[in-house]
Chains A and B, each alone.
Chain A
Amino acid sequence: MSPVTLTRVETGAPAPAAAPRPSRGPAARRPLTGWLFVAPTALIVAALFLAPLGVLIYMSFTDWPLLADPTLNGLDNYRAIANDDMFLEAITFTLVYTAITTVVLFAVAFVLVAISNSYRRGTRFYRTAFFLPYVVGVAAASTMWWVDAHDQLGVFNQVLRGVGLIEAPVGFLETPGKALFTVIALVVWKFIGFQVIVLLVGLQSIPEELYEAARVDGASAWQRLRYITIPGLKPTLALLTVLSVTGSLLAFDQFYVLTHGGPDNSTVTVVLALYNKAFQSFRLGDAAAEAVVLLVALVLLNVIQLRLLRNREN
């Protein structure tokens, strides 16, 4: 993983500031060859990203019906966002969901890392078990949970009843709180494996000698955590935060399949809201404007996060 190499690099001696910049090699002198090498990628990016992005931006300034010709309507679609309660509520909900998910994912991951980082028997079994759900697709996993959470058919209620914890079915998707809890449980179950593996790699890349030296100097367990483990893990933590925040802000599948945004529209995420706008209401222009706003917000957020990441490393 890249954060590991990054930590190693910074321990090396810094290059003298006055050193001449390395030559860019023959490719720099023959730009055409270079362009030929990147041409396939450039074409793919142009066809599959830039062109649709262009259509999207154009669409966001039009009233775009399904079949008839679109008509330009200036900034109307963007103005409409300010009056769209569902979209505005979706922004709040998505931010709350992102905050909770990110914190819970880290909290659970730390516990599981502690379990699977030891050298006891069964460690490999635990690591595999934690990682397995990660290879299931989000939509498939959500469908599984949709059935599992059902009052009559679902295994969750049957197990809880079997061990005598509950009398009546829980109704895992019945109230806004329970539905959010169920989705977060699904997300933790589904993504925790990745989180744990990345944290383990980060942890094991911290040189053992540092801990030995600290022990010789009489550092307590707390001090070793505070001054060796956490600083050593910083790049890994930053990477995981970026991934978790971006992923959560774009959450769609689990809500679309598991809750349909319900109950009572309490779990409508930003992407679900704009999907509804495009494919339930067929207001493609409005949906495009919302998508552009989301895109800009995500780019800004990632720039900020990457800045923070860089600062931590320096």
Chain B
Amino acid sequence: MAHLKGEDTAMFTRVVALAGTLVLTLTACGGSDNSGTASTNPDDGTQLTMWVRSATDQFSQRLVDAYNQSHKNKVALTIIPNDNYLTKVGAAAGSRSLPDILASDVVYTPNYTKQGLFQDLTGDVKGLPYYSSIAKSHLDVASYQDKIYAVPHKLDSSVLFYNKNLFKQAGLDPEKPPKNFDEILAYARKITALGNGITGWDLAGSCGGCNVYTLFPYAWADGKEVLSADGKKVDINNDSFKAIFKLYKQTSDENLVDSSDKTQDGATWPANFLAGKVGMLALGSPIVGDLLKQTAFEWGVTPLMSPDGAKTATFTGGDVAGIAATSQHKAQAWDFLKWTLEESSQVEIIAKNGDLPGRTDLGGNKYTAADPRTKIIAEGLKNGHTPFALPFGDLFNNPNGPWLETVRAALYGPDINKALADGQAKIQAGLDAAG
């Protein structure tokens, strides 16, 4: 700066002033008009945009295609890789370039409602004739301070899948899935003994979300709350989780799982089971569509159980969809969301493909009821839980977060008790920090 001559200084001042103006312009682009265009018929040929994460790609595409065929409005769907979804939404929210319709993993939703990403839909949702039968778990996470901001987009549920062919080969009864942790361990040993790269069990050792989805239900079934209803207290340092990690550590130590499981980050988790190389896999209803398509092996399903097998539970996961706060097409976007909840869409598009309807009154529809396996999954929803916490993604799904650190310390470290005590403290600290 000291070398600047007179005119240079003047120019420098001008550049700084220009930059300052730009900054002010950027930050001032805030208060956009959210009123929306309320025409009499919302199906008026509007172009809508919608974002979903890749976990729901085909599911969302089927809904969007059917809507576009039967309506004047056209929804343009953008599918964003799971890992980049938070980033993309965060950046778009900052620059006010969110789509009209924004889907969100249920566990991230509280963060979005708190940040003001969605428009208030309370009146519209409560006005629906089937309001009382819309999946409550999803409406709960989509509500903030008694207002509803989103509706169920996709509903899924974690269960235990097993390969009946491998059960037969290992001398097990293919109609009798394991009922408790002792049976899981015993069956896993027998199936792994078949050799040829076949493993009895499968786990995702580098994936926080996977281990929420499949481990929390064991503890819920055992009567533990894990996360308090207000999302401010965590409880993982208990006997249930000690039993859960004892089983999982044993399957890992005895090589009843594939060696790649230590680095499994969720991206290729179901692949080994779908290839017929895994005996039992705790995962969720999203893979049912793929399982129904394949003919290489017979598969069965059973609920996730408490360690002693007394009770069962499931993680009711999936996605909700809401209208972004910045959208100028609220009426049209709601027309799409409402249409996805109608019986014809729920049954003929969603249930027909093996997915779960987002309304409890449609649980007994002809497609879900026709297959005993999808029926087991749908009926399991009555024991469904969806955890709530504002910083859920940051603490549990984040690959650098405290939950995955805890899981790995318990699975691959020397001391489960210490791992759980440390994890309890770190996760609780994270919840406290979020207020």
Q: How long is the Cα–Cα vector from A261 to B394 in the complex, in angstroms?
A: 14
Flag if B22 contacts A262 (CB, 8 Å).
no
The answer to whether A174 and B399 touch (CB under 8 A), given A51-B23, A152-B258, A265-B405, is no
0/1 interface trace, chain A 140-166, chain B, CB 8 Å (1 if under): 000000000011100000000000000
CB distance from A52 to the nearest CB of B (A): 9
Flag if B408 contacts A65 (CB, 8 Å).
no
0/1 interface trace, chain A 269-281, chain B, CB 8 Å (1 if under): 0001100101111
Interface centre among B27, B93, B263, B394 (most CB of A within 10 A): B263
Is B283's CB within 8 Å of the partner chain A? no
Contacts of A70 in B (CB 8 A): 27
Contacts of B404 in A (CB 8 A): 262
Flag if A47 contacts B117 (CB, 8 Å).
no
Q: How long is the Cα–Cα vector from A150 to B258 in the complex, in angstroms?
A: 12
Is A35's CB within 8 Å of the partner chain B? yes
Flag if B206 contacts A262 (CB, 8 Å).
yes
Contacts of B111 in A (CB 8 A): 282
Q: Return the contact of B15 from the options A50, A268, A282 (Cβ within 8 A).
A: A50
CB distance from A182 to the nearest CB of B (A): 11
Flag if B90 contacts A279 (CB, 8 Å).
yes
Interface centre among A42, A58, A151, A261 (most CB of B within 10 A): A151
Complex: chain A residue closest to B83, CB-CB: A260
In the complex, which residues 62-105 of chain B have their Cβ closer than 8 Å to any Cβ of chain A? 86-87, 90-91, 93-94
Flag if A168 contacts B259 (CB, 8 Å).
yes
Is A137's CB within 8 Å of the partner chain B? no
Flag if B325 contacts A67 (CB, 8 Å).
yes
Q: How long is the Cα–Cα vector from A46 to B394 in the complex, in angstroms?
A: 35
Contacts of B262 in A (CB 8 A): 171, 174, 263
CB distance from B211 to the nearest CB of A (A): 14
Q: How long is the Cα–Cα vector from A152 to B27 in the complex, in angstroms?
A: 50
Contacts of A10 in B (CB 8 A): none
Q: How long is the Cα–Cα vector from A280 to B93 in the complex, in angstroms?
A: 14
Flag if B408 contacts A280 (CB, 8 Å).
no
Is A69's CB within 8 Å of the partner chain B? yes
Q: How long is the Cα–Cα vector from A241 to B393 in the complex, in angstroms?
A: 39
Q: How long is the Cα–Cα vector from A261 to B116 in the complex, in angstroms?
A: 30
Is B11's CB within 8 Å of the partner chain A? yes
Is B292's CB within 8 Å of the partner chain A? no
Is A221's CB within 8 Å of the partner chain B? no
CB distance from B20 to the nearest CB of A (A): 7
Is B128's CB within 8 Å of the partner chain A? no
Flag if A169 contacts B260 (CB, 8 Å).
yes
In the complex, which residues 99-122 of chain B have their Cβ closer than 8 Å to any Cβ of chain A? 111, 115-117
Contacts of A68 in B (CB 8 A): 115-116
Flag if A46 contacts B15 (CB, 8 Å).
yes
Q: How long is the Cα–Cα vector from A265 to B391 in the complex, in angstroms?
A: 19
Q: Return the contact of A152 from the options B15, B19, B90, B260 (Cβ within 8 A).
A: B260
Q: Return the contact of B399 from the options A54, A58, A168, A262 (Cβ within 8 A).
A: A262
Q: How long is the Cα–Cα vector from A262 to B263 in the complex, in angstroms?
A: 9
Q: Return the contact of A278 from the options B7, B30, B90, B116 (Cβ within 8 A).
A: B90
Flag if B399 contacts A261 (CB, 8 Å).
yes
CB distance from A186 to the nearest CB of B (A): 15
The answer to whether A67 and B15 touch (CB under 8 A), given A51-B22, A54-B20, is no
Is B18's CB within 8 Å of the partner chain A? yes
Interface centre among A152, A268, A276 (most CB of B within 10 A): A152
Contacts of A69 in B (CB 8 A): 30
Is A31's CB within 8 Å of the partner chain B? yes
Is A18's CB within 8 Å of the partner chain B? no
The answer to whether A282 and B7 touch (CB under 8 A), given A51-B23, A169-B260, A262-B206, is no
Flag if B400 contacts A262 (CB, 8 Å).
yes
0/1 interface trace, chain A 285-296, chain B, CB 8 Å (1 if under): 000000000000
Is B56's CB within 8 Å of the partner chain A? no
Is B26's CB within 8 Å of the partner chain A? yes
Is B379's CB within 8 Å of the partner chain A? no
Flag if A67 contacts B115 (CB, 8 Å).
yes
0/1 interface trace, chain A 25-63, chain B, CB 8 Å (1 if under): 000000100010000001000110011011100100000
Flag if A173 contacts B11 (CB, 8 Å).
no
Contacts of A47 in B (CB 8 A): 22
The answer to whether A86 and B325 touch (CB under 8 A), given A55-B27, A260-B265, is no
In the complex, which residues 407-430 of chain B have their Cβ closer than 8 Å to any Cβ of chain A? 408-409
Is B398's CB within 8 Å of the partner chain A? yes
Flag if B263 contacts A171 (CB, 8 Å).
yes
Complex: chain A residue closest to B25, CB-CB: A51
Flag if A280 contacts B86 (CB, 8 Å).
yes
In the complex, which residues 347-394 of chain B have their Cβ closer than 8 Å to any Cβ of chain A? 391, 393-394
Is A264's CB within 8 Å of the partner chain B? yes
Q: How long is the Cα–Cα vector from A166 to B15 in the complex, in angstroms?
A: 62
Q: How long is the Cα–Cα vector from A53 to B111 in the complex, in angstroms?
A: 27
Flag if B400 contacts A282 (CB, 8 Å).
no
Contacts of B26 in A (CB 8 A): 51, 55
Name the 9 nearest CB pairs between A and B, nearest first.
A151-B260, A66-B93, A279-B87, A260-B399, A51-B22, A50-B19, A67-B116, A66-B115, A281-B394
Taking A65-B115, A173-B263 as given, write out 14 further A-B residue pairs in contact, using a Cβ cutoff of 8 Å, ordered by the A residue number: A42-B15, A46-B19, A47-B22, A50-B15, A51-B26, A53-B19, A152-B258, A171-B260, A174-B263, A260-B399, A262-B263, A264-B405, A280-B401, A281-B398
Name B residues whose Cβ lies closer than 8 Å to a Cβ of A: 7, 11, 15-16, 18-20, 22-23, 26-27, 30, 86-87, 90-91, 93-94, 111, 115-117, 206, 258-260, 262-263, 265, 325, 391, 393-394, 398-401, 404-405, 408-409
16 contacts between A and B (CB under 8 A): A47-B22, A51-B22, A66-B93, A67-B117, A69-B30, A151-B259, A152-B260, A168-B259, A174-B262, A260-B265, A260-B399, A262-B265, A263-B262, A263-B263, A280-B400, A282-B115
